[in-house]
């Protein structure tokens, strides 16, 4: 897709900066990532549009503004090497944004086919983000504690595993289901055995589901 830098620049100016997200590190990262590479060919013309876009297997790549908003809430002032766990890799775009900003990213996807595809694109673009195929509700203990956990699928609860794997002072950003078909972004900061909650935008996400879908080579 020739001229993608122009589209990415326009996307950042009109959809993100104009809505009050001023974090330069984040804006620059989103300008520098070829978002269309995370979208299947038949939907690539929509990849810089102001909406979620299908990526196959009934899943979507999140709307650019939502990616920006959640990233901004997750790490207001990231440092090189800030460690992040993402639940719901999907296309891998969110993981690319965090990586481009200098963070170390583990991302969990329950659908093997998506996980493999995302890992391939991330690698092609030179990001070291690690994609794991498993049920993200359990988090990923071996690399914990994380400075931040970002859940990019709608859940009606915050798993104990996530809170346990979060560093003290770390934050979790999650679209929490408040009614059928409606979520609200919640930021929970871990403060010892306590936590501090702040609510943000209403939003809609595909649901967080149980278990793993692995390709059956015999089917």
Residues making contact with ligand SAH (CB under 6 A): 59-62, 87-88, 90-91, 93-94, 108-111, 114, 135-137, 152-153, 206, 208-209
Who contacts 207 (Cβ-Cβ below 8 Å, separation ≥6)? 153, 154, 155
* Residue nearer to ligand SAH on the CB measure, 23 or 155: 155
Q: Please report how many Cα atoms fall inside a 13 Å half-sphere around the Cα of residue 211, on the Cβ side.
A: 2
Burial class (CB in 10 A: 0-12, 13-18, 19+), 204: middle
d(CA 154, CA 137): 12
* Residue nearer to ligand SAH on the CB measure, 27 or 67: 67
d(CA 185, CA 70): 8
* Residue nearer to ligand SAH on the CB measure, 53 or 194: 53
Task: Characterize 51-83 residue by residue with b for buried, 16 or more Cβ atoms within 10 angstroms of its Cβ, and e for exposed.
Answer: ebbebeeebbbbbbbbbbbbbbbbbeebeeebb
State the minimum distance, in angstroms, from the CB of residue 32 to ligand SAH: 16
DSSP one-letter code for 77: S
State the minimum distance, in angstroms, from the CB of residue 192 to ligand SAH: 27
Has 62 been annotated as catalytic?
A: yes
Beta bridge partners of 191: 194
State the minimum distance, in angstroms, from the CB of residue 66 to ligand SAH: 9
Catalytic residue (choose from 18, 47, 49, 62): 62
* Residue nearer to ligand SAH on the CB measure, 61 or 185: 61
State the minimum distance, in angstroms, from the CB of residue 132 to ligand SAH: 9
Residue numbers annotated as active site: 62
């Amino acid at each position: 897709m020739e001229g993608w830098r122009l589209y990415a620049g326009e996307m950042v100016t009109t959809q993100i900066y104009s809505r009050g997200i001023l974090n330069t590190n984040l804006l620059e990262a989103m300008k520098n990532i070829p978002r269309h590479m995370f979208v299947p060919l038949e939907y690539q013309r929509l990849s810089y549009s102001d909406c979620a876009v299908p990526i196959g297997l009934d899943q979507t790549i999140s709307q650019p503004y939502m990616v920006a908003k959640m990233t901004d809430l997750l790490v207001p002032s990231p440092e090189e090497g800030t460690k992040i766990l993402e639940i719901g890799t999907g296309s891998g775009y969110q993981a690319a944004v965090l990586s481009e900003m200098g963070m170390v990213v583990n991302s969990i996807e329950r659908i093997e086919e998506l996980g493999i595809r995302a890992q391939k694109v991330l690698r092609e673009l030179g990001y070291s983000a690690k994609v794991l195929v498993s049920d993200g509700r359990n988090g990923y203990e071996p690399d914990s504690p994380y400075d931040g956990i970002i859940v990019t699928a709608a859940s009606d609860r915050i798993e104990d595993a996530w809170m346990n794997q979060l560093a003290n002072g770390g934050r979790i950003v999650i679209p929490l289901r408040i009614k059928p078909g409606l979520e609200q972004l919640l930021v929970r900061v871990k403060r010892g055995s306590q936590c501090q909650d702040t609510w943000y935008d209403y939003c809609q996400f595909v649901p967080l589901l149980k278990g793993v879908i692995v390709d059956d080579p015999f089917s």
